[in-house]
Structure 1
Amino acid sequence: MAVDYSLYLVTDSGLVPPGTTLEEQVEKAIKGGVTLVQLREKDTETKDFIKKAKKIHDLTKKAGIPLLINDRLDVALAIDAEGVHIGQEDIDVATARKLLGPDKIIGISVTYVSEATKAVEDGADYLGVGAVYDTSTKIPKNPPIGISGLRKILSYLSSVKTYIPAVAIGSVNLATARNVMHLSAVPGRSLDGIAVVSAIIASADPESTSREMLNMVKEAPYWMSVINDRTPSAILNDIPALLAKVQEEGPLVHQLINRVAINFAANVTLAIGASPVMSENIPEFGDLASVPSSSLLVNMNSAVPESLDRYIAATTKYNLQLRPVVLDPVGAGFSSLRREAVKTLLNRAHFDIIKGNEGEIFTVAGETSSMRGVDSTGNSTIEKKVHIAEGLATKEKTIVVMTGPQDIISDGLTTFVLSNGHEYLSHITASGCVLGSILAACSVVSKEDRFLAAVAAVLMFTIAAERAAVAPGVRGPGTFIPVLLDELYILKQMCANNDSSWLEQARIERYLLTT
């Protein structure tokens, strides 16, 4: 039997809602698209287990999908199930194979590359990888591995000559399924599916839940597509229309931002035609994310647990709705607390754009960085910075914006270096924070082309800064700030009037790394 691991249902009778049965939940889930079922009944006596297994097997045979039994080879043999799933502390794969024969499916749970290596050597038919996140359905022996842990095992599997399917398990639900499935992919290898427990078994409507989750597995999100081989001139031609669209649509920009930047960021957001919301109230995050023309800016002003919980809660809501999310990893390399916070965020969420200075982007990429507080003190070559930006963009399926004397923007395939801006930007607070606001606004109206959104936002901000710095009456940073707001507003109006003359100031080139 050919096995489709796309949506792998693992049962738990204790999660079945009142008024229904496990058999009814499984039947509805199969109608919704479940492709494989594992019967897991840890506390059931053998006689009752076999009885229940026969009922579930009748459903799976009718649907033409396999039924696997968790741990219990005796039950699998008694009902002639298609196979078993075993854990690291259960019977070994070789012995299970001798007892079940060559045609049965044998899967095994793995957490680390060493366990995956042994499973492959022992002849497992597939791997259940996890737990990805904390789960309430099973007490994990090991800490959750997150997206980064999945990538490690998939990287190993990409080097194995014999193809071994892999599914992710551990709090994979409607909020996490898309990120788990698509962010974990590495060059040459991706997951074959997701294993789901409570999200389906405990659902009031397991059929629709299964259908929605299968769509998340099968359909790649917009951020998986890359528009490559673009030239600076082509990008510049598209910028005025994009910025005019910001004013036309007035997108909602939800900002979790540094308190010293709130007023400035709100004013900048209004100046370019968008609408700022500075809410930190977790209960209303879902309502904000449900607004069709909305985006989220996570400005990592704090890495304490309560702030991190807030960031995760917000990104979860926006990721679920496929709304753009921008990450500004403020001071990421300054402390171990912030470095760990960044790792947690990348393990839990997808970010359409990651913006930071050299030290911050290097830290996010897992490289050694040099920082003093939230300021970068790095002085890497342009080649090194482009290399890091391209690698991070490819790994995280994102757009990287590395700010500095030269701004580097990369989607992993195309990299632009922008050389606009003014030194006054380095002498005022929150200049980087407000750039995040513009990036978030632009990403709403150019969701499928986030690279264009990033270039438009950076050029609008840096050219407005150049214009403001030479305006009459500007003598330094104090008089620069209000004129910067004026110039952003003026550029917005110029775009609305189809006037692109300001872009003649753009200093932009495509950068190609030498190999």
Structure 2
Amino acid sequence: MAPIKVDYSLYLVTDPNLVPDGTTLEEQVEKAIKGGVTIVQLREKDAETKDFIDRAKKIHEMTKAAGIPLLINDRLDVALAIDAEGVHIGQDDIDVATARKLLGPDKIIGLSVNYVSEATKAVEDGVDYLGVGAVYDTSTKIPKQPPIGISGLRKILSYLSSVHRYMPAVAIGSINLQTARNVLNLSAVPSRSLDGIAVVSAIIASPDPETVSRELLQIVKEPPYWMSVVKDRTPPAIIADVPTIIAKVQETTPLVHHLINRVATNFAANVTLAVGASPVMSENIPEFADFSSIENGSLLVNMGFATPEAVEMYLAAITEYNQRLRPVVYDPVAGGASTLRKEAVKALLNRSHFDIIKGNEGEIFAVAGEMSHMRGVDSTSSSSMEKKVHVVEGLATKEKTIVVLTGPQDIISDGITTFVLSNGHDYLSSITASGCVLGSILTACLTVSLEDRFLAAVAGVLLYTIAAERAAAQPSVRGPGTFVPALIDELYLLRNMCAKGDSSWLSAAKVERFVLTS
């Protein structure tokens, strides 16, 4: 085994076909090394042996000067000819035992894996690190296997955490400035995360590889932005902070970008305005970068449509907001109602980070991969509170998010702390898009409280459900039809009360902390 300590944080894989006009591969690699690349793999699929060796010698001089390893893709003869630090091989290349015999015990040998079975054999064979993926579809290499996504990364990291915690693992496959954070942060499992990311086109094809490398290395080194520490998680302490969040929404007027079920558009816009935020309803992909650049902007993805085209639109928007660390709320509407929707949920979870996932029991169970019973957008399942909390906490932990399960009793969890809220009114289940507009409120609250997403979720649910109780009690309300305008009025009135420092309405809050018994 290779005795040297290798930093796999930012692993550059070369491709001469991607080099921009007016420069050379050697120049791109040199700039990338200046930007912080920690290891280089030279990949030359079409080069003649002499040309491969000549290029490898030049690049090896650069890597040696920088004190980082150079690995050769596939070609042991080239690695031996220039005395490279090691090789990277694929599943169909020379076997690990033969490579080790030829290279010796001090050279690095990496192997590409897609499945736990391949990772298991690689570890048994004595590789020095695993190249995992492709994570996503990539244009730089025709994959022999379909992309494994975040879920595939998790499976391999879970295996390593229980069997070989110290085996380095590097992800590859369409990893760039837009996707790196999600790949690194969402793939992590308890006690195990990726050791680095392998990047090809994002650096080699860049007109400024030094800057891109520096930015990518910063992403690798930085902790997830949602890892905040909250000192007091008791219901009274959280409730006491709720008015601050609601008042801040009115004070800052955050932009809530809706990708929403069209039956809910008008209602959601009115509710967003009522709580003091600014709604925008845009499905125009060229606008997404501009909206996500707004400092106090946020995104609500309400999965009204689950067609492949709609999923691509959702992903385009989420990518822009994720890249800029802007809040994203996901409402998996009817997520378990059809095979099409189940596949849409998987696709979105595999490529996205959501700060809050909100849905009814059937939707949350479907997202968590649990059996659910749905009739259209409605949930017909009725599990015990213990079961629902177990599913909610598991999903929150797995996706590093806040989960809000709505129903007669609302459940909110970050995977560690779980609250059960018992406010609301039956009229909410008798009007169209009641759950959709809660998503608007949650997104507005989240935008002003990204450092404490749990508090934002509690604030949004309490504002909505207590407003519903107050609206239903108005003399003018005779049923669902007259309830809707009264609900909008009460949201507006409660928001103004908070702006004036009046939190008396929260005396109606019914919040308990729930702790699983097993």
Shorter-chain TM range is over 0.9
Deviations 1:427-461 (A, max 9, x none): 00000000000011111100010000000000000
Q: Whole-Å Cα distance in 2 between the matches of residues 422 and 127 of structure 1?
A: 54
Which residue in 2 is equivalent to 1:326?
329
Which residue in 2 is equivalent to 1:447?
450
Q: Whole-Å Cα distance in 1 between the matches of residues 232 and 448 of structure 2?
A: 21
- Percent pairwise identity: 78
Deviations 1:450-474 (A, max 9, x none): 0000000000000000000001210
* Distance change (3 Å), C-alpha of 1:228 and 1:86: farther
What amino acid sits opposite 2:157 in the alignment?
A: L
CA contact (8 A) 2:232 2:238 kept: no
Pairing 1:485-504 to 2, within 5 Å after superposition: 485-504=488-507
SS at match of 2:198: strand
CA contact (8 A) 2:476 2:482 kept: yes
Q: Whole-Å Cα distance in 2 between the matches of residues 280 and 472 of structure 1?
A: 39
What amino acid sits opposite 1:46 in the alignment?
A: T
Q: TM-score, normalised by structure 1?
A: 0.99
Pairing 1:311-460 to 2, within 5 Å after superposition: 311-460=314-463
CA contact (8 A) 1:228 1:413 kept: no
Q: Whole-Å Cα distance in 1 between the matches of residues 222 and 229 of structure 2?
A: 15
Name which of 81, 103, 106 aligns with 1:103: 106
User: RMSD in angstroms over aligned alpha carbons?
Assistant: 0.8
Deviation at 1:226, TM superposition (A): 4.9
Deviations 1:110-163 (A, max 9, x none): 001110010000000000000000000000000000000000000011111462
Which residue in 2 is equivalent to 1:32?
35
Which residue in 1 is equivalent to 2:97?
94
Name which of 492, 514, 517 aligns with 1:514: 517
Which residue in 2 is equivalent to 1:180?
183
Q: Whole-Å Cα distance in 2 between the matches of residues 312 and 454 of structure 1?
A: 23
What amino acid sits opposite 1:75 in the alignment?
A: V
Deviation at 1:220, TM superposition (A): 1.6
Q: TM-score, normalised by structure 2?
A: 0.99
CA contact (8 A) 2:389 2:411 kept: yes
The answer for unaligned runs of 5 or more in structure 1 is none
Q: Whole-Å Cα distance in 2 between the matches of residues 42 and 429 of structure 1?
A: 57
Q: Whole-Å Cα distance in 2 between the matches of residues 446 and 514 of structure 1?
A: 31
Which residue in 2 is equivalent to 1:306?
309
Q: Whole-Å Cα distance in 2 between the matches of residues 483 and 229 of structure 1?
A: 35
What amino acid sits opposite 2:223 in the alignment?
A: A
Deviation at 1:225, TM superposition (A): 3.5
Q: Whole-Å Cα distance in 1 between the matches of residues 364 and 102 of structure 2?
A: 53
Deviation at 1:229, TM superposition (A): 5.2
Q: Whole-Å Cα distance in 1 between the matches of residues 383 and 409 of structure 2?
A: 12
Deviation at 1:227, TM superposition (A): 3.0
Which residue in 1 is equivalent to 2:480?
477
Name which of 192, 196, 210 aligns with 2:199: 196
Dislocated runs of 4+, deviation >6 Å: none
Q: Whole-Å Cα distance in 2 between the matches of residues 432 and 306 of structure 1?
A: 24
What amino acid sits opposite 2:48 in the alignment?
A: E
SS at match of 2:298: strand
Deviation at 1:228, TM superposition (A): 6.5
- Whether 1:464 and 2:449 are equivalent positions in the alignment is no
What amino acid sits opposite 2:375 in the alignment?
A: R
Pairing 1:65-214 to 2, within 5 Å after superposition: 65-161=68-164, 163-214=166-217
What amino acid sits opposite 2:477 in the alignment?
A: V
SS at match of 2:464: helix
What amino acid sits opposite 2:434 in the alignment?
A: S
Q: Whole-Å Cα distance in 2 between the matches of residues 222 and 400 of structure 1?
A: 17
Q: Whole-Å Cα distance in 2 between the matches of residues 156 and 387 of structure 1?
A: 23
SS at match of 1:53: helix
Deviations 1:82-122 (A, max 9, x none): 00000000001110000000000000000011100100000
What amino acid sits opposite 2:155 in the alignment?
A: K
What amino acid sits opposite 1:193 in the alignment?
A: G
Q: Whole-Å Cα distance in 2 between the matches of residues 492 and 411 of structure 1?
A: 25
SS at match of 1:9: strand
- Whether 1:58 and 2:61 are equivalent positions in the alignment is yes
Deviation at 1:224, TM superposition (A): 3.3
Q: Whole-Å Cα distance in 2 between the matches of residues 224 and 52 of structure 1?
A: 44
Deviation at 1:214, TM superposition (A): 0.7
Q: Whole-Å Cα distance in 2 between the matches of residues 205 and 294 of structure 1?
A: 29
Deviations 1:336-389 (A, max 9, x none): 100010000000100000000000000100100011111001110001000100
Q: Whole-Å Cα distance in 2 between the matches of residues 228 and 299 of structure 1?
A: 32
What amino acid sits opposite 2:368 in the alignment?
A: A
CA contact (8 A) 1:228 1:414 kept: no
CA contact (8 A) 2:165 2:192 kept: no
Q: Whole-Å Cα distance in 1 between the matches of residues 76 and 229 of structure 2?
A: 46
The answer for unaligned runs of 5 or more in structure 2 is none
SS at match of 1:94: helix
